[in-house]
Amino acid sequence: MASKFQIEVGEIAETHSLVPVPRTADSVPYIELRQSLPSQIVAISPFVNQLMRFVLNFRNADGSEMEIEIAVREALANAVIHGNCESAQERVHVTCRCHVDGEVIVTVRDEGQGFEITAVPDPTAPENQLFTHGRGIFLMKMLMDEVRFERDGATVCMRKKATQRRLQ
């Protein structure tokens, strides 16, 4: 029996598809994973651990894995806490696309009403620097190569390009 702070393994992620997509004339082949998790904070870490194993199976380690992981954690926390208000009836939906060239695109969608991105306070402003929250979007933008919000903020799409290692 699961307590309030435990989640059964089967509840953590609901896999919808793992699909290899062939190359077309103007695209790079990729593999895509679609999953969802319950709107509970305790589900985030096990889910991210699983997602990062997936990413590392299809992408060469280039040193940016921690940046991807932190950005995904922040996006999931925002979706669970602010988007779905930790509602047991709602889920957070995640799509992770790993391209063979090393690019990773992660999309996190909650079932909430969204938010106005321009209304989010700047965490670097002097009056906000002592707050213990409010840095998630800022971190996502700093750590990923591209971050965009869709569906009035209920969906965040993040992209990390592959880092080319130089030969010494």
Q: 133 falls in which pLDDT band (50, 70, 90)?
A: confident
Q: 48: which 2 tokens? A: 């991210």
Q: How confident is the model at residue 168 (pLDDT cuts 50, 70, 90)?
A: very low
Examine the pLDDT at 73 and tell me if it is beyond 50.
yes
The full DSSP string for the chain is ---TT---HHHH-EEEEEEEE---TT---EEEEEEEEES-GGGHHHHHHHHHHHHHHHS---S-HHHHHHHHHHHHHHIIIIISTT-TT-EEEEEEEEETTS-EEEEEE-SS----GGGS--TTSGGGTT-SS--HHHHHHHHSSEEEEEGGGTEEEEEEPPPPPPP-
Q: What is the arithmetic mean of pLDDT over 112-135?
A: 81
Asked whether the whole model's pTM tops 0.85, one would answer no
Domains, in order of start, for the chain:
15-160 (3.30.565.10)
Q: How far apart are the first and last CA of the chain?
A: 55
